[in-house]
Amino acid sequence: MIVVPTLSLASIQGFPTRKDSERLNKSRPYHVLLHCSRVSDFKASEATSITCGQKRRCGCYDMHNVLVPYSVAWSWQKSIVKERKTLVEINQDLCDSLIVLQHHPVYTLGTGSSEDYLNFDLKDAPYDVYRTERGGEVTYHGPGQLVMYPILNLRYHEMDLHWYFRALEEVVIRVLFSTFSIKASRVEGMTGVWVGESQILGDQKLAAIGIRVSQWIAYHGLALNVTTDLTPFQKIVPCGIHDRGVGSIKGLLREHSLSKGAGMHHMEDSQLLDITHKSLVKEFSEVFQVELQQKAISELEFSKG
């Protein structure tokens, strides 16, 4: 079934659980359509703050080693966006936000996603299914996948959605090359990060991207398969793309002897996740030219909205 989020800090655990939820009201209004597939070249030099040469602050809520129910993270994002809009009105939006976490197994659809890409009956879904307000088609989130939810005021970066997609892709491309010597790329006409025989024939998608932007505040974000069990992807047509598959960093390290990543396939999953997380945060701060500030996470953060 398609479900609606319910908030509970107590439901954040270190192992997968499933809880029943109510059906999502599909008639909820959406502000803007935010699925972009047109590709433009990303230039690192463009990723600069416009705040008089100073890096913009970005509060980082680091839960990369915690499984967070999708409903909790989704509602948390929306509460932050609501607060940020209020701050924009009084010219006090001084800090962006970044949430890093993992999810319990879940399928999510974009606002215009087709249920034709689900290879199961919604009444007997293997995991909870959420229809969200992001762009894009269906995808899977689960343990071993690092999810980054940047909540950015694009007025202080670039007011250009194509630039934003390319910047998110750039973060992952840099991580894969600098940390694992994996040469990843974009694929023309598609969004995400791919590996394969060439930039044109990239046949495995390692990172999926889906966003929403409201009043130039962006949220949702990217998901990178690190040690993810890819089996649940077989129950869907990931991102609505029939002729390409999905991959993971762990799988690539196992299959190929990569010069810089040699031996990494022997690592424990937790070690591989920690290494990837450290690189993701570093490259994110460099691409978006922000100064990350670690934020404590309290129950209040999850009870808002």
What one-character-per-residue DSSP string does 8-33 give?
-GGG-BSS------PBP-TT---S--
Residue 62 in contact with residue 100, Cβ under 8 Å? yes
Residue 182 in contact with residue 193, Cβ under 8 Å? no
3-class state of residue 114 by DSSP: coil
Longest dimension (CA), the chain: 54
Task: Of 69, 77, 5, give the one whose Cα is nearest residue 301.
Answer: 77
- 36 among known catalytic residues: no
Span 224-262, pLDDT tens digits: 999 999 999 999 999 998 888 999 999 999 886 544 445
Q: Provide the token pair at 18.
A: 């499933």
pLDDT band at 297 (very low <50, low <70, confident <90, very high): confident
Per cent of the chain over pLDDT 70 is 75
Domains of the chain: 56-303 (3.30.930.10)
pLDDT of 118 over the 50 cut: yes
- Neighbouring CB atoms inside 10 A of 245's CB total 13
Residue 108 is inside which H or E element, if any? strand 106-109
Q: What is the pLDDT, as a whole number, of residue 267?
A: 84
Span 252-291, pLDDT tens digits: 998 865 444 456 667 899 999 999 999 999 999 999 999 9
pLDDT of 192 over the 80 cut: yes
Pure H helices in 46-135: 70-89
Span 30-43, pLDDT tens digits: 233 333 333 335 55
What is the average pLDDT across 48-60? 72
What one-character-per-residue DSSP string does 181-234 give?
----B--TT--SEEEESSSSSEEEEEEEEEEEEETTEEEEEEEEESS---GGGG
Catalytic annotation, pick one of 58, 60, 95, 239: 239
Amino acid letter for position 87: L
| Backbone φ/ψ region at 52: left (φ over 0), alpha (ψ -120 to 50), beta | left
Q: What is the pLDDT, as a whole number, of residue 261?
A: 46
